[in-house]
Structure 1
Amino acid sequence: MSTPADELKTAVIIEDDPEIRHILSEVLESSGFSTVSVGNGIDGVRAVLTYKPLLTTIDVTMPGIDGIEAAKRIRAQSDTFIIMLTGLSDEADVIAGLGAGADDYLLKPFRPRELRARVEALLRRSRSAPATPPAAPQGSVGPSFPVARAAISADAVVSAVGPDVPAAPDAPAVSAPAPADGEWLVHRDLRLHPENRVVLVGGDELDLTRTEFDLLATLLESKRRVRSKADLTLVLRGESYVTSYYVGDADKRAVEAHMTNLRRKLGESAANPRYIETVRGVGYRLTAESA
């Protein structure tokens, strides 16, 4: 049964190509979203701050500031899910986009079915309840349609980039609730609370993206059991993709990028790990309890 929250799902599309904006709108509206489409990065950042969308798509190469910078500015002020769009020849953009705070990516050309599958996987992941968005401008928000997706030709797919808006002042810090000790996942001086989504290192709270948090939680729950990059990809997507088609080399490189960002925030390196070690040719696991 649909709920009022379901009916308020909003997506912001930041794309300078009118045809691609239309394609993305149709795909997302078929999944129950109302869409707000903008043609440049400045308006894209403003739209995210105004409509507080559940999902935002950003292409990497629009005029003005690029999608990487747009993602950084949006992530600094919003917990919207971000999907970056990039060309097959620009996989370096995947790494940069994930480092900027994106949750997932799509290589162009993509199939509408794949976009919908990735969106559905993101929505299964934990997030804070979104604020109710204001009504979108006349003509910019599409109606909701049944969850069905029309096939779209590969060459009809994507090309965009990001915004150029000064970042708004940071919101005042809010102290996280202090959960009971028994609810924490602990490794050395690293503590993670799954429900409150709090991570502490030596008593200091870390600011992790949703994806970094989910990766760390998975490794803490797995302890010394090795988790492969393909396995971690499926975990991030709710293990809904059971075929190997969806876990390609680019997916594995995306996990590597998230792990690099996570290690940087933990203050460690792959060469001298304190919390997470790489098992070459396989994946990742926690380090031993003592050095």
Structure 2
Amino acid sequence: MSRADEQSRVDEHRVAVVVEDDPDTARLLEVILTQAGFEVHVAADGPSGVEAVRRHRPVLTTVDVWLPGIDGFEVTRQVRTFSDTYLVMVSALGGEDDILGGFEAGADDYVRKPFRPRELRARVLGVMRRPPARIRPAAPVVAPADPPWADPPWADPAAPVPEPSAVVPEAPAPLTPAPPPQPAGPVVFDGALIRFRGLLVDPGAGTASADGRPLALDRMQFDLLELLLYSGEHPSTAGSLALSLRGEPYQPGAVVAESDEVLVTQAVHALLAELGDHRPDPRWIEVLPGRLFRLVPPA
């Protein structure tokens, strides 16, 4: 497959499968990939993940290691027997044996949890610039030799030879082309840039502007703006944002210091002040009761 053919394949078939049993992580991956232009299908266990790849024929698949049914290593091995999907393992397991096991099973990359949205998106786009992996056919099953008494009747030279069957197998149904990806919502990823209603964010350069006006943001304010853009209309708590800033996954019941929540809340309000985004009619970021923040939904 030529380089042009590979790029055409990626561009025309922007389908992704996420195999992840944790609902919060699955949703985060779905949001990141949807906003990157993928049509995303989620599977919550190993066998469903293998079947989802077989059914949807994705160009990209992410696989957790700890999964119900069969683990991510076995999912990867099975997928590689019939698909050349770009496959990224996403797991909290970060030991050398775990990472090597992922690559040996057929993964193209291995990302440790917790991850930053921008890191995952960069790794995915990097993987997809490579040639696709080769399919690894399953080992053939060797049938045991038939015992002498199992010979068919026509093994005897004197026995009549049966007539060949007149049944002609039906031709396989043509593959239905995947539907084009649907619009990913108000946040648009334009190459390395993120656009949202006049906001322009360049994560690589660490710069942002609003309607062409450069924004004077410190590192925390910039990271919070990026996190809120990835979260979209899903409300984020000050506590979950504080954990994300530290690179820690949010889990139900997680304890976050009050001082950290206050610091994040103050930073969000400073961000709103720099944006000129104030209640009661904000344009970009909405503040909800209980220290909740989200992007303003479409009217």
Coarse TM-score class (shorter-chain normalised): 0.3 to 0.5
**TM superposition score normalised by structure 1:** 0.46
